[in-house]
Copies of this chain bind each other. A is one copy, B any other.
Amino acid sequence: MKSGPTYARVAALIGDPARANMLSALMSGLALTARELAQEAGVQPSTASGHLKALTTAHLIECEKQGRYRYYRIANQETATAIESLQVLSQHNGLLRVRPGPKDPALRKARVCYDHLAGEMGVRLYESMAARDFFKVAADGISLTDVGEKFVYDFGVDVQQCNASRRPMCLACLDWSVRRHHLAGALGAAMLTAAFDQGWLMRGSGSRLVRFTAAGEAAFRKAFPIVS
């Protein structure tokens, strides 16, 4: 019985540290370029290319060409579920390291996912805007409606500049801490910048952590009410 079960190959793919680092980065829901993933894994681009090819042929990730960039992302929900269950398993079995106590709820509440807002507040922003029909859902993604465009303009976002960037305008990014979506893409980044400019929040001690000021949180909740 030389060859193992079919799932052994998949587990071996996830089991390599470099590839696992790439997958972890992609678990943010963002699509990243090959170079960014090489950086994330701490290997040379040539090495990363081989890993990305292996992951792609196994259908764990998929690739989208945009100009000279290649954006990679998690291919399907099954892959995300498998990685999540492995995370759960390693945290459960690794009795060594405990989750940070007071830091964790703060991170769950609000953090930066690369350059946009994630956590509960990020989910609130997305769902509040979605409930008010600021987004238009198309086959290739989501985009702003007219009223949505007016809203983000009033919020302090230069819509023209967002459109000009090569980056996808709007992205619905799955939030793995709360299992719901938040807003990513150029618009997500621009809105976070606008919120910073208005003094609503500041970067916290950790690299990903952001903290709302008291007045900023009140203003945020008013600007993004929960609409049923």
Contacts and interface: CB of A to CB of B under 8 A. Distances in A.
Contacts of A40: 1
Interface stretch (A79-87, A156-164, A187-195, A208-216): A79-87
B1 A86 contact: no
Bin chain A's interface residue count: 35 or more
A37 B3 CA distance: 15
A145 interface: no
28 contacts: A1-B21, A1-B41, A2-B17, A4-B18, A4-B21, A5-B90, A6-B90, A7-B20, A7-B86, A7-B89, A8-B15, A8-B17, A8-B20, A9-B90, A10-B86, A10-B89, A10-B90, A10-B93, A11-B86, A12-B16, A14-B15, A15-B15, A59-B93, A75-B93, A78-B85, A81-B88, A81-B89, A82-B82
Interface string A8-41: 1111111111111100100000000000000011
User: This chain: how many copies in the complex?
Assistant: 2
Interface string A40-81: 111000000000000000111000000000000001101101
A32 to B, nearest CB: 14
B92 A88 contact: no
Interface of A: 1-21, 24, 40-42, 58-60, 75-76, 78-79, 81-83, 85-94, 97
B6 A94 contact: yes
Given A7-B20, A11-B20, A2 B42 contact: yes
Across the A-B interface, the 5 shortest Cβ-Cβ residue pairs? A4-B17, A12-B15, A1-B42, A8-B20, A11-B15
A15 B5 contact: no
